[in-house]
């Protein structure tokens, strides 16, 4: 009985051992997990934004240094040159100086100094002289933003010159001298050939004076050819007392009573009358007369180009073009917004010839040489 009980007990132990699950023993290379800590979950690292590429700050725009000085080649009357350069200097703070030369002298100066220019901007004088200078490569194109206000007929389309004023050629006579001679004031070009006016007519030399060149080309325009013009000029030579260097000087000669009649721009005659030579009077030839478009241009190789451009921009404004009458320079402004003086010529009342500025400019050197060779040396 005791043996049966022991067998049953041993059999139960054996069956229990067979039913129990088996757990493998941990190896040395596999650590045993702690029964109180769950295995750590796999956590992804946060995504970092891509590194920004280094940026270059925009360049700081350094303003161009302000021009310090400007030298102007000036052709109108001395007091107008003074008034304009002073006004420009006061407005912009740029030290401004000028040299006053007649148009032909100015052109000769530009030729002589083309390899080392002394001036930066040329202001005043007839456009045909500017065209002559441009033909010789002495000017630099510059189209001012203010040139848009100037009529197309009064500027070069490529910016080689731009018109700043207009004036008409006429006769400036001394009433007292004419009365003494028993001669009426001239009303035609033929009147200047009157024998009673021998030695009583003055005009400038076309080589030095734009005014006189305008008078010469006017004959070409009204008579139809250069030869016909020189035929007339030969006849006129018999009555000429003197060919002056300056275009307006003959008007002063008439004012002093040295001659009866001078051939100048009408605005200069009015200026001299307003300054005290009240015996002077203006008349215009009924066949037609020439006129000028006074210009402004940037000189090629200008030593002060930025200041020169500022000058050009400024002289095209109404403000600048209204300075002339303050010194009794009564040219008509080209800016339509500028006030016109009551003393200025009314072009609608003057018969003008068909003045071809381009042809006049291109022919200048040839015609002035012919004048020197044929007219000035001709006997009287």
Nearest to residue 272, comparing CAs of 297, 247, 294, 295? Answer: 247
Kindly tell me the number of DSSP H helices and DSSP E strands found in the chain. Answer: 13, 11
pLDDT, position 54: 53
- Non-local CB neighbours of 142 within 8 Å, separated by 6+ positions: 159, 297, 298, 308, 309, 312
pLDDT, position 65: 78
Mean pLDDT of the chain: 88
Taking 80 as the threshold, does the pLDDT of residue 229 lie above it? yes
Percentage, residues of the chain above pLDDT 90: 82
- Angle, CA of 166, 171 and 175, to the nearest 5°: 135
Taking 70 as the threshold, does the pLDDT of residue 22 lie above it? no
DSSP 143: -
Taking 60 as the threshold, does the pLDDT of residue 109 lie above it? yes
Q: Could you give the CA distance from residue 145 to residue 128 in angstroms, rounded to a whole number? A: 23
- Show the DSSP H helices in 142-265 as ranges: 175-181, 210-223, 226-237, 249-255
Work out the pLDDT band at 61, boundaries 50, 70, 90: low
Percent of the chain that is helix, strand, coil (3-state, to 5) = 40, 15, 40
pLDDT, position 380: 84
Paired strand residues for 152 = none
Q: Residue by residue, what is the 3-state secondary structure of 49-107? A: CCCCCCCCCCCCCCCCCCCCEEEEEECCCHHHHHHHHHHHHHHHCCEEEEEECCHHHHH
Q: Could you give the CA distance from residue 278 to residue 270 in angstroms, rounded to a whole number? A: 9
* Residue 214 near residue 169 (C-beta atoms within 8 A): yes
Work out the pLDDT band at 31, boundaries 50, 70, 90: very low
Work out the pLDDT band at 62, boundaries 50, 70, 90: low
Give residue limits of the domains in the chain. Answer: 69-165+293-343, 167-290+371-375
Q: Could you give the CA distance from residue 197 to residue 184 in angstroms, rounded to a whole number? A: 11
Architecture in CATH of 167-290+371-375: 3-Layer(aba) Sandwich (3.40)
Q: What is the mean pLDDT of residues 171-200?
A: 98
Q: Could you give the CA distance from residue 73 to residue 102 in angstroms, rounded to a whole number? A: 10
345 vs 62, residue with greater confidence: 345
Q: What is the mean pLDDT of residues 100-117?
A: 97
Taking 60 as the threshold, does the pLDDT of residue 4 lie above it? no
pTM, two decimals, is 0.82
pLDDT, position 6: 39
Q: What is the mean pLDDT of residues 171-186?
A: 98
Which two structure tokens, joined as six digits, stand for 291?
């006129």
> Is it true that 69-165+293-343 and 167-290+371-375 share their CATH fold?
yes
Q: Where are the beta strands (DSSP E) in 217-363?
A: 240-244, 261-265, 280-283, 291-299, 332-333
Q: Could you give the CA distance from residue 132 to residue 165 in angstroms, rounded to a whole number? A: 19
Identify the CATH homologous superfamily for domain 69-165+293-343: Periplasmic binding protein-like II (3.40.190.10)
Tokens 């200041």, residue located: 307
The 10s digit of each residue's pLDDT in 279-298 is 999 999 999 999 999 999 99
Nearest to residue 212, comparing CAs of 364, 374, 373? Answer: 364
pLDDT, position 45: 45
Q: Where are the beta strands (DSSP E) in 287-341?
A: 291-299, 332-333
Work out the pLDDT band at 63, boundaries 50, 70, 90: low
Q: What is the mean pLDDT of residues 226-254?
A: 98
Sign of CA pseudo-dihedral 112, 115, 121, 127: positive
φ, ψ (nearest 5 deg) of residue 100: -95, 120
Secondary structure (3-state) at 90: helix
Sign of CA pseudo-dihedral 234, 236, 240, 246: negative
Q: What is the mean pLDDT of residues 109-122?
A: 98
Taking 70 as the threshold, does the pLDDT of residue 124 lie above it? yes
The 10s digit of each residue's pLDDT in 327-375 is 999 999 999 999 999 999 999 999 999 999 999 999 999 999 999 999 9
Taking 70 as the threshold, does the pLDDT of residue 248 lie above it? yes
């Amino acid at each position: 009985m005791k043996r049966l009980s022991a067998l049953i007990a041993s059999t139960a132990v054996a069956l229990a051992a067979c039913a129990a699950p088996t757990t493998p023993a941990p190896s040395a290379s596999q650590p045993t997990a702690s029964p109180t800590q769950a295995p750590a979950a796999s956590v992804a690292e946060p995504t970092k934004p891509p590194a920004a590429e280094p940026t270059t700050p925009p360049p700081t725009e350094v303003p161009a240094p302000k021009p310090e000085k400007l030298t102007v080649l000036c052709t109108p009357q001395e007091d107008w040159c003074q008034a304009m350069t002073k006004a420009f200097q006061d407005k912009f703070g740029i030290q401004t100086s000028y040299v006053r030369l007649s148009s032909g002298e100015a052109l000769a100066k530009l030729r002589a100094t083309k390899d080392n220019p002394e001036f930066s901007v040329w202001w005043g004088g007839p456009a045909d002289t500017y065209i002559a200078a441009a033909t010789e490569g002495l000017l630099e194109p510059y189209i001012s933003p203010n040139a848009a206000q100037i009529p197309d007929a009064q500027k070069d389309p490529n910016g080689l010159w731009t018109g700043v004023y207009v004036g008409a050629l006429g006769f400036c006579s001394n009433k007292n001298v004419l009365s003494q001679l028993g001669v009426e004031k001239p009303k035609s070009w033929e009147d200047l050939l009157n024998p009673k006016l021998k030695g009583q007519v003055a005009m400038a030399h076309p080589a030095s004076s734009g005014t006189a060149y305008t008078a010469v080309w006017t004959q070409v325009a009204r008579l139809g050819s250069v030869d016909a013009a020189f035929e007339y000029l030969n006849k006129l030579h018999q009555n000429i007392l003197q060919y002056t260097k300056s275009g307006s000087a003959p008007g002063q000669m008439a004012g002093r009573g040295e001659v009866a009649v001078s051939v100048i721009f009408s605005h200069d005659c009015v200026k001299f009358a307003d300054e005290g030579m009240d015996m002077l009077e203006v008349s215009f030839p009924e066949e037609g007369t020439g006129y000028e478009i006074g210009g402004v241009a940037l000189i090629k190789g200008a030593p002060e180009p930025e200041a020169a451009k500022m000058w050009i921009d400024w002289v095209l404004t109404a403000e600048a073009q209204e300075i002339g009458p303050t010194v009794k320079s009564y040219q008509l402004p080209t800016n339509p917004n500028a006030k016109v003086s009551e003393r200025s010529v009314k072009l609608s009342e003057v018969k003008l010839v068909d003045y071809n500025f381009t042809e006049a400019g291109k022919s200048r050197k040839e015609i002035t040489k012919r004048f020197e060779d044929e007219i000035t040396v001709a006997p009287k």
